[in-house]
Amino acid sequence: MKKIKSGKIRRKRFLISALLLSSIAAVSLAAVGVIYAVVIVRDLPSPDQFETRQVSQSTKLYDRTGEVVLYEIHGEEKRTIIPFGEIPETLKEATIATEDDDFYNRPAFDWRGILRALWVDIKNLSFSQGGSTITQQLAKNVFLSSEKTITRKLKELVLAIQMESRYSKDEILNLYLNQIPYGSNAYGVEAASQTFFLKSANDIDLAESALLAGLTKAPSYYSPWGSHLDEVLARKNGVLNRMAELGKITEKQRDEAKKEKIKFAPPSLGSIKAPHFSLMVKEYLVNKYGEDIVMNGGLKVITTLDWPMQEIGEKVVEEGASRNELLYGGKNASLVAQDPKTGQILALVGSKDYFDIANGGNFNVAVQGLRQPGSALKPFAYMTAFEKGYPPQTILFDVPTEFLPNDPKCPPIPDYNEMKDDECFHPQDFDPFLGPVSMEQSLAQSINISAVKTLYLVGIKDFLANVHKFGITTLNDVWRYGLSLVLGGGEVKLIDLVNAYSTLSQDGVRHDQTSILEVLDNKGNVLESYHNKAEKVIDQQYPRMVNKILSDSGLRANLFQNSLGLTVFPGYDVALKTGTTNDYRDAWAMGYTPSLTIGVWAGNNNNAPMQKKGTSILAAVPIWSAFLRETIKNYSSEPFNSPNPIEVVSKPMLNGQYITSIPINGIPTPQIHSILYYVDKKNPLGPPPQNPADDSQFANWEAGIFNFLSASLHK
């Protein structure tokens, strides 16, 4: 009994001690919290000062010299305070629906939202979630910064509580709608409505209200004048859906507002140079440093832009696109110039005219546009072939060929007059079929059939691996690509293609693309600066082989004919590859020297095709040539590095010989076969395949050659 009693006493003493320690710890934590809160509150401004804002400093973008101002971001705030009664109910309801749907029923803060955001932050090991009410957002935007710290969040909570003790919900919502930034220097609903719709906030309708309410999440990104208009409209529709869910509008009102075609005012960016480039840099800065820092932090940004070169680019694009519109129905063009030795973007023209809203001029084709490159990807297929051991003199047959084997509706010898292109795959050439051609001749003259055969020999997987290593960021859906990929069966960005050709020019050394040389804060501290990041992505021999072919004006003469003069620059080594999609929607000219890479796209922003004559040679090359003609004079002559001597391969087709002699009954008999008869594509330099017919393409390739030779003999 004594043991039991003493055990109870010990447990009782332990519980008392634990309670005392817990109480002391709780009191200590509370004391620390109170002291911390007192320190925070002591430094807070008075909520009575909501009609004033802290002084902000504009961010300035400069060209590479640091002397030419390209764009002053933010400048002075445009704001017109209007009474609460003049703000349409649709805008009030849209704002509440998207920002704080229980605004009128909850206190200054939403504990559930805060805890939910905190949980996400803990899981992601970051401090990025919001969970803020309208009152908190007002406190942050008026008095605080957007830095993601616990201290700032606590200050925001304290200010929000103080505000709601002084102001009614209507007054807070009024202050919010008259203070919040909507982008393009517009603060408050009146300035935003005048800026984007050229009318008073009192006159905007439901669809326009929903669109404005959606901008506040990320004003720069969701700007109606930026390159994310589809996302802006999608966010507007999301706001309308939420309003309908909350019963603020009917489903009929929602659907009608979704269908409404909103008419935007022309962009008014103030004084801006190189608008597509400048706004691209702005978006990069906002993504990295945050909206508040970029809009109000007074950053000084030295970009890579060469302003004199940019002026030339804008001039030749405007002149070339105007010419194309008259001749071929192509209203737009885009140009990117890059220093291939550093990856620095020297000029970027996103469209003919940024301010031509009717033709989508504010869309940045160079950066945002996904366009099919036509034959502009062919050099990377041949480079991959060279890497696998195929010499440039390798023979392929440019003859009518069906590449969809073992399909009854796709005979091995295609009838181009009867068969539908969407049923089978039998590409054509722009010129008559040539028969046997070497790989170097095929590349220089952009022959389609032999390019498709080259892609088949090297394999789509290895081809894409090289394309990505060279700088292409798209073409990631490998499952949906076929042999048409080498003719433009996927979508790329002009800015990426320029980077890939820059890597070619540097013998397979890729330099990371950049538009920034230096970013300084308002105290002159360097936040980031340019460092050349380079990586060798392939043995130098194979890009050099491609450069030698593409810079040989004699090899490309047959393709360019009367336009050959546009591609020749006496005293300079200049490589060039063009690309035209089959439907004439896209025309490309990708040209480079060892010191400068230039890419040009021509077409229509709405993807409407140009007329049949709108090929790359006629629509894109003149723009490219005009730009290089004016800029190449600033560079000294520099030759491409020559490839090492190429060993002769003693194997039919790979050694340039396509006629072999096989003894039949002791009599030498000439034979002509496709390359698949002599080469195992998995090991091109190894022994010939034991049974060539095992290759699924063999029968089709052989049939095409037989038909071509038979037709030639009967002429």
What is the residue extent of each domain of the chain? 2-43, 59-300, 304-371+494-519+570-644
Task: Report, as an integer, the average pLDDT of 628-654.
Answer: 94
CATH number corresponding to 59-300: 1.10.3810.10
Q: Tell me how far the alpha carbon of residue 364 is from its chain's centroid.
A: 9
The set of residues, in sequence order, having a beta carbon less than 8 Å from that of 335 and lying 6+ positions away, is 313, 316, 317, 347, 348, 349, 366, 598, 599, 600, 601, 623, 624, 627
**pLDDT given for residue 148 in this prediction:** 57
Asked whether residue 702 carries a pLDDT value surpassing 90, the answer given is yes
**pLDDT given for residue 21 in this prediction:** 46
AA identity, residue 196: F
The set of residues, in sequence order, having a beta carbon less than 8 Å from that of 665 and lying 6+ positions away, is none
Give the residues across from 667 on adjacent strands: 664
**pLDDT given for residue 709 in this prediction:** 86
Over its C-alpha atoms, the chain yields an Rg (Å, rounded) of: 33
**The two three-digit tokens of residue 299, written as one number:** 């950053």
Indicate the pLDDT class of residue 269, thresholds 50, 70 and 90.
Answer: low
Alpha helix ranges (H) inside 44-166? 89-99, 111-124, 134-143, 150-166
Angle at 596 between CA 592 and CA 598, to 5 degrees: 60
Cα gap 107→157, rounded to integer Å: 11
Strands of 130-282, DSSP E: 181-183, 186-187
Asked whether residue 107 carries a pLDDT value surpassing 90, the answer given is no
Residue of 452, 497, 432 whose CA lies nearest to 701 = 452
Task: Report, as an integer, the average pLDDT of 564-578.
Answer: 97
**Are residues 321 and 330 in contact, defined by beta-carbon separation less than 8 angstroms?**
yes
Indicate the pLDDT class of residue 76, thresholds 50, 70 and 90.
Answer: low
Asked whether residue 596 carries a pLDDT value surpassing 60, the answer given is yes
> Which range, of 52-61, 90-99, 390-399, averages the lowest pLDDT?
52-61
Encode 384-397: b = buried (16+ Cβ within 10 Å), e = exposed: bbbbbbbbbbbbbb
Strands of 625-698, DSSP E: 659-664, 667-672
Task: Write the pLDDT tens digit of every residue in 10-59.
Answer: 555 545 544 554 454 444 444 444 444 554 555 565 656 554 544 457 78
Task: Write the pLDDT tens digit of every residue in 414-437.
Answer: 877 666 656 789 998 877 899 999
Task: Write the pLDDT tens digit of every residue in 195-239.
Answer: 899 888 999 999 999 999 999 888 888 888 877 888 999 999 999
Task: Report, as an integer, the average pLDDT of 113-135.
Answer: 55
Alpha helix ranges (H) inside 329-447? 365-368, 378-388, 439-444
**pLDDT given for residue 50 in this prediction:** 52
How many contiguous H segments (helices) and E segments (strands) does the chain have?
24, 19
Task: Report, as an integer, the average pLDDT of 580-598.
Answer: 95
Is there a shared CATH topology between the 59-300 domain and the 304-371+494-519+570-644 domain? no
Own/partner contacts of 98-102, CB < 8 Å, gap of 24 or more, are 98/213, 98/214, 98/217, 98/238, 98/239, 98/242, 99/134, 99/137, 99/213, 99/216, 100/133, 100/134, 101/242, 101/246
Indicate the pLDDT class of residue 149, thresholds 50, 70 and 90.
Answer: low
Residue 45's Cβ-count burial label (10 Å; 0-12, 13-18, 19+) is middle
Asked whether residue 128 carries a pLDDT value surpassing 50, the answer given is no
CA distances from 662 to 641, 692, 705, 707 (A): 41, 16, 18, 21
Cα gap 201→222, rounded to integer Å: 19
Q: Above pLDDT 90, what percent of the chain?
A: 61
**pLDDT given for residue 125 in this prediction:** 47
**pLDDT given for residue 114 in this prediction:** 53
Indicate the pLDDT class of residue 167, thresholds 50, 70 and 90.
Answer: confident
Cα gap 20→26, rounded to integer Å: 10
Indicate the pLDDT class of residue 132, thresholds 50, 70 and 90.
Answer: confident
Asked whether residue 591 carries a pLDDT value surpassing 60, the answer given is yes
> Which range, of 131-135, 143-147, 563-567, 660-664, averages the lowest pLDDT?
143-147
**Are residues 160 and 139 in contact, defined by beta-carbon separation less than 8 angstroms?**
yes
Indicate the pLDDT class of residue 1, thresholds 50, 70 and 90.
Answer: very low
Give the residues across from 302 on adjacent strands: 62, 518
CATH number corresponding to 304-371+494-519+570-644: 3.40.710.10
> Which range, of 131-135, 402-406, 548-552, 615-619, averages the lowest pLDDT?
131-135
Element spanning 317, H or E: helix 307-328
Indicate the pLDDT class of residue 108, thresholds 50, 70 and 90.
Answer: low
Average pLDDT value for the chain: 86
**pLDDT given for residue 325 in this prediction:** 94
